Structure 1
Amino acid sequence: MAEILLLPFGSAGDVFPFIWLGRHLMARGHRVTMITACLFEEQARKAGLNFIPLGEKDEFEAMIRDPRIWKLGHGTKVVFEFAAKSVEPYLAAIESCGRVDLMLAPVTAFAARLAHEKHDTPLITVHLQPAVFLSVHETPLLHPAMRLLRRMPVWFKRVLFSLPNPVDLFALPKVRRICQEHGVKPPKSLWREWWDSPDGVLALFPEWFAKPQPDWPANLLQWTFPLEDLATEQALKPELQTFLAPGERPVVFTPGSANVQASRFFAVAAEAVRRIGCRAVFVTREPKQVPPNLPASILTVDYAPFSTLLKHASAFVHHGGIGTMSQGLAAAVPQLIMAMAHDQPDNADRLERLGAGIGLSVRQFTPVRVARELKRLMDEMSFRQSAAKCAAQLAESGDVNRLLRWIEERVNPAQTMS
C-alpha cells in the first residue's frame, strides 16, 4: 500500500478529476489523501478520501469574486498570483503528512514540485486540458489573436515561445524566494523547468479530442475524460425530477461552479429561452444571479450532477470548462459555449472542430445570437450526430487498470504492482 497525495488546485472542474483518481487508487488498496481548498472537504470525504483543508473559505471566495478572473489575460494573472501565494501553505500541508510515496498535481500546485525537489518525492503532473501544452505544432487557442499565430511557421512560434511566459511573470518571483528559503535551487523558468514532472505526465483527455504532438513530453500517458461529478453521492433533487418528468427536454444553462459573476449570462439565457419558447434549467451555486420572477418553464437549482441531468437535456449552454464540456460530450448533447478566459476558448474551438457544438465570445453572447444558435443546435441533425459520435468514443474508454498500473510504476519504477 502506497501513501499517495492528490493536490488539485482550482474549482470543481479541477478537483473532481482528482476525486475520480482517488476512488480508483483506494480501490487498489492505497491510502489516498487530498489537499486542496476547504470548500471541497465534504465532497472529498463523501468519496472516501482523507482530506487536509487548505486555507480559509474566504481566500478561495476572494479569488473567484475578483472581477478579473473571467477576463482574457487578466484571469491568468489572478490564477497564477493566487497559485504562488498558496505555495507555502500547500508545502506545509504536504510535509505534515510524513512519508509520501507519490504525489499527483496540476502545474499550478507549485508546492508539489517544490516538495519533489526538496524531498525527492515522486510526482506525476496531471494535465486536465490540452490548452496547457503550448505546442508549436498545434498551438492552443488561448486568445482570439492566436488564430493568426496558428498559421505562422514553426520556427517563428519557437522564437515567440522563447520569450517570457505569463506564469514566470506572475508567479516566478515568489516561488523563487520560497525555494531559497527551503534550500531548493530555484527554477529559472516555471514553464520550461517545472511545467512537466520528470517522473511522469498524465493527460486526462482522449486523443480524438487532442492528438499528441511531437513537442509534448516523452514520459506522458494520455487517457480520457474522468467524468466525475459526484453522481454516486448526490441524486437529482425531487423538485428537479418533478420538473424533468413532463414536457419537452429543457436547455441546461450553467456558467461554471466557480462563477459568481454570471448575472448577465442568466439574463441573456432567460431572454433567449423566451424568444424560442423552450424550457430551461439554470444551474448556479448563487441563485441570486438569476433574474427574478422567472416563468414556470425555467427552474433554478444550486447543483445537479450533469451525468444524470444531461440525459434529459435538448442542449447544453455553459462557459467551456473542460469538465463541464466533457459531461456534455458523454451525454451526446449539442453544446453552446460562452468562452471567457483560461482554457475555455481552446475547448470551444475543439468542440466546434468536432462538429458537436458552437463557441461564442462574451461579446457575441446576446439574446438574439444565443436564440439563433440554440435553434441550430436543436434543429440541425449534424450537431446531434457529431455529439453522439463523441459519446460513443467516450464509451469505448480503455481498461482503467492500465492507467492505475502506470501510476503505481511511479511509486516504485523498479517493480510494477499488479
Structure 2
Amino acid sequence: MQIKLVAVGSHGDVLPFIGLGAELVRRGHAAVLAAPAPFAQLAARAHLPFHALGTRADYERTVAVPDLWHPRRGAFVLFDQLAPTTEQTYDWLARTSAPGETLVVASTLGLGARVAQDKLGLPVVTVHVMPLLVESRHAAPVLPGIPLAHVLPSRLRHWLGRGADRYVIGPAALPQLNALRERLDLAPVRRLRHWWNSPTRILLMFPEWFTAPQADWPAQAAQVGFPLVDRLGDTPSLSSELSEFLAAGPPPLVFTYGSAMRHGQAFFRTACALCRTMGRRGVMLAPESGQMPTDLPEGVIHVPYAPLSVLLPRAAALIHHGGIGTVAQALAAGIPQLVVPVAFDHFDEGQRLQRLGVGAMLGRRRFTPGRAAQALNRLLASETVAQACAETRMRMTREDGVSAACDEIERLIAR
C-alpha cells in the first residue's frame, strides 16, 4: 500500500510530515509527500519522493500578504490562497490513487484529501498539529481576534467559536470549496471545522500533559505527542558563525517570529532594544535580512535559520510568535518562553504555556522593551518557572510523537 502524505502550510505544518514520511520510508513503506513547492529540497534531503503543490512564487505571494497575519482577516487571505491547492491536491490523488492501494495522511488544510475521500472513497487520516484545531465544549481553545477570550468560560468560548464558523471561517472557506464539490457532484460542506475531521482516523500531534483529552473529542482521535523534527529543516546544524557567537559569552535571548513571517520589522526592532535594556546578548532568527534593523547592537547576531533543538539548550529564553512547533522545541530545551502572538493558534499556545508555568504572553502593542524586560526578568528569576521548565524537558525526553504517529498509521494499514 502506498502512503500519500499531504501537507499544506508553512514550515511548522510541513516539517512534521517530512518527519512522518522519512520514518515510514525507514520502516519499509512506500511514501510520497505533496506539499508547497519550496519544501522540495527538504523532502529530497530526507529521501522522500515529492509532489509540488503550486510554485515557489505562489507560496511567497501568500506569505507576503500583510493581512495573512491579522487575527480576523487572516482567515480570508488563507482560504482564498488555499483554494487552488485544494483542487490540485484532489486532482493529484484522483490521478494516482485507488481504494485498497492508497492511504492518505493529510494535514488540517489538506482539504483536497477530504474531497478525495468523499468522492473516491480513499481512506484518509487527518493530522492536527495544534490543539486549536480540535473543538470541545469542556475545554474550548482560545480563538484569535476575540478580546479577553482566555478569561471567558469554556462553553462561551465554544459558542463564540461556532459564531466564528458562521461569520468568518465559513464565508472565507466554503464558497470555493463547495464550488469544487458541486463540480464533482458532492453535497456542500456546511461547517468546515467539523467536516475537515476524517471519519477514518484523526491524529493529534500534542501530548496529554499539554492538552488533556476531552470526552467530546471525536471518537476516532488519537493523541501521539509533539513531532520534534527541526533538524529536517534548512540545515541540521549551527553555522560556524553562530557556534562561535554562542561560545563567546553567556546564553543569549533567542528571537523568532516564524519562518513564514515577512512583516516582523517592528518585532525585531523591539528585540534589539530589549537586548540593550537588559544587557543581554541576542540571536535573531529570520529568513530575510530585510526584517532586521541595519544597525544591530553589539552582542546581537542575525541568522536566517538554526535548528532550535541545537540552539535553544544554549539559550536563556525564547521570545517568539507562539507557533506550536517553536513552542514544542522550547519545551524540549527546558527554557522559559515569552509569546508575542500574531494570529491563528498563537494566543491559544500562549495561554497553555502560562498554565504550565513555563512562559508569559504580551500582546504586540504591549511588546515594548520595558514591559518585555519586566516579563523576562520575572521568568528568569523564578525558581518555580525553572522547576516547571525542567519538568517539561523531562516529559519531552520520554516521548516520540513521530514514532507514535507511525505506529497508529501501521495499525490502520494492518486493519
Alignment TM class, shorter chain as reference: over 0.9
Distance change (3 Å), C-alpha of 1:93 and 1:332: same
User: Paired residue for 1:283?
Assistant: 285
SS in 2 for 1:378: helix
- Distance in 1 of aligned mates of 2:257 and 2:302: 13
Alignment of 1:5-404 (within 5 A): 5-99=4-98, 101-143=102-144, 145=146, 147=148, 151-152=152-153, 154=155, 157=158, 161=162, 164=166, 166-192=168-194, 194-230=195-231, 234-397=236-399, 403-404=405-406
SS in 2 for 1:202: strand
Distance change (3 Å), C-alpha of 1:231 and 1:313: farther
CA displacement at 1:158 relative to structure 2: 5.3
- For 1:101, the aligned partner's letter is T
Distance change (3 Å), C-alpha of 1:312 and 1:47: same
C-alpha deviations, 1:62-107, integer Å up to 9, x for none?
Answer: 1111111111111122212222232112222223434451111122
C-alpha deviations, 1:301-348, integer Å up to 9, x for none?
Answer: 001000001111001011000001100000001011100110000000
- Distance in 1 of aligned mates of 2:222 and 2:305: 32
Contact preservation (8 Å) 1:80, 1:108: no
CA displacement at 1:155 relative to structure 2: 8.4
Say if 2:6 is the partner of 1:4.
no
- Distance in 2 of aligned mates of 1:318 and 1:229: 16
- For 2:102, the aligned partner's letter is D
Note the residue ranges of structure 1 that are not aligned, 5 or more in a row: 414-418
- Distance in 2 of aligned mates of 1:329 and 1:399: 14
- For 1:362, the aligned partner's letter is R
Contact preservation (8 Å) 1:122, 1:411: no
**Count, aligned residues:** 411
Contact preservation (8 Å) 1:139, 1:150: no
- Distance in 2 of aligned mates of 1:404 and 1:310: 27
Distance change (3 Å), C-alpha of 1:120 and 1:252: same
CA displacement at 1:355 relative to structure 2: 0.4
CA displacement at 1:388 relative to structure 2: 1.2
CA displacement at 1:285 relative to structure 2: 0.3
SS in 1 for 2:166: coil
Contact preservation (8 Å) 1:43, 1:230: no
Distance change (3 Å), C-alpha of 1:207 and 1:297: same
Contact preservation (8 Å) 2:130, 2:206: yes
CA displacement at 1:260 relative to structure 2: 0.7
- Distance in 2 of aligned mates of 1:155 and 1:377: 31
Distance change (3 Å), C-alpha of 1:149 and 1:354: closer
Contact preservation (8 Å) 1:8, 1:14: yes
- For 1:218, the aligned partner's letter is A
Distance change (3 Å), C-alpha of 1:3 and 1:156: closer
- Distance in 1 of aligned mates of 2:180 and 2:138: 35
C-alpha deviations, 1:346-390, integer Å up to 9, x for none?
Answer: 000000000001111111111111122222222222222211111
C-alpha deviations, 1:226-275, integer Å up to 9, x for none?
Answer: 01112595211111111111210011101100001000000000001001
Normalising by the residue count of structure 1, what TM-score does the alignment of the two structures yield? Answer: 0.93
Contact preservation (8 Å) 1:101, 1:411: no
- For 1:390, the aligned partner's letter is T
C-alpha deviations, 1:256-301, integer Å up to 9, x for none?
Answer: 0000100000000000100111101101000121111213301100
Distance change (3 Å), C-alpha of 1:103 and 1:379: same
Q: Which has the higher helix share?
A: 2
